[in-house]
Structure 1
Amino acid sequence: MLAAERREHLLDLLARTGKIVAKDVAADLGISEDSVRRDLRDLAAEGLCQRVYGGALPVSPAVVDYGARQAVGPDGKRKVASVAAAMVRPGSSVILDGGTTALAVARALPKELACTVITHSPTIATALIDHPRAEIFVLGGRVFKHSAVTCGAAAVEAAQNVSADLCLLGVTGVHPEAGLTTADADEAAMKRALSARAADTYVLASSEKIGTASPYRVLPWEDVTGLITDADPRDMVIDQLRALGVEILAAQ
């Protein structure tokens, strides 16, 4: 099989099954695992897959810069945001992560809702300025411009001194095996710090993130309360997550 044919085979397998296991592909095609791994490196360099131990997973489309992400799946983000905003009760405190879905949550909060919002996103804080009864606490640190949030040691330390009823967490990848992932190591650490300070953590995941992975793990499934998504309830990945005991909140 020519290299171009192997490439098409790998991409087709990834689209059909949601993952590539290098040793299985090597056995099926009668080639070495090294050849498969080289092909996967080339595909990953082109942004066509996310390499993981033993193979590859679909790459998340949500790893582009903040401006470009606002055009990715806006309807799905609004549906997820509507469900998430309804979870913020009067008088409660919520840690609201950064990102475009979290921004949609901020915009979906009722204007007169009395609550406390803790965030490391200047964009989220600005969106809530015209909510007269919302107390806003911004966690400071180095601004990670890709996602318009603060990260780093100072931001993590600030997060360790707050607590909340609820954390609404954004990620770029949602996969049964890879768990919850994002594209930057410091951002992943900040998300873990935020989640650890809330009684409950729900993940905001519009459908384009389901079944995909990014380089850095945020949390395993056992550390979150549930997942809010507009993905088809019959989606294979959603079924796999339910089998793992993950609570799925449908945003339809």
Structure 2
Amino acid sequence: MSLAGKVALVTGAGQGVGRAIALRLARDGADIALVDINSQKIEQVAAEVVALGRKATTFVADVSKLDQVTASVEHAESHLGGFDIMVNNAGIVQIAALLEVKPEEVDRVLNINVQGVIWGIQAAGKKLKALNKRGKIINACSIAGHEGFALLGVYSATKFAVRALTQSAAKELASFGITVNSYCPGVVGTDMWVEIDKRMAEITGAPVGATYKQYVDGIALGRAETPDDVAGFVSYLAGPDADYMTGQSPMIDGGLVYR
């Protein structure tokens, strides 16, 4: 229960990795503010958090909107009695050749994956400073933030941006005792990878499932990643054992990309 007495806000908490992170932090003792654009999904996860014996509150927000992200942080503090940990997990994938990508597609993925992290850092940083707390800000990056992948060029660019934002925020907030780190998963068996595989099949003509298998076959540990694999690492970043770590974006991918 290394997070006992802490309040954590998780964006994109309605499913997949976000849900797993919320539940893991709850198991570790934190009360959880669940933020997502889908109200029904976060209410279901909130019930799971409560079943673990922790407090939960929900807030519907579009993370690309600064006012909504700021409101979600205020909601977390007012409903759970504090604020300690921000997990900027929400994100979307975009699959297209760079020669074919459309302006509206670029805008959407940049707004959510990059602006969403900026607004999360800003809202959480201001709140932690106001509370005079040595808190944690944790951002969703990816192996695609360490290596650009074909047909994932714009998505990869957003994740490279998250690494830069993480480093810059860590330097700006260190004097306030606020650490900023990212987590970089690989091939996680979630709906996002179902979408990646489907779109890859449409673009390349490969059978559905072939792209997913190709990537999984390249993982040294011999299996796809689970949301719980990611959540365990985020729990470390959120906990006291990571107090001396900031500005870092480590990969947790089972041995797929090496840097």
Q: What TM-score comes out, normalization by structure 1 length?
A: 0.34
More helix by share: 2
Larger strand proportion of the pair: 1
- Structure with more contact order per residue of length (Cα contacts < 8 Å, sep ≥ 6): 2
Q: TM-score, normalising length from structure 2?
A: 0.33
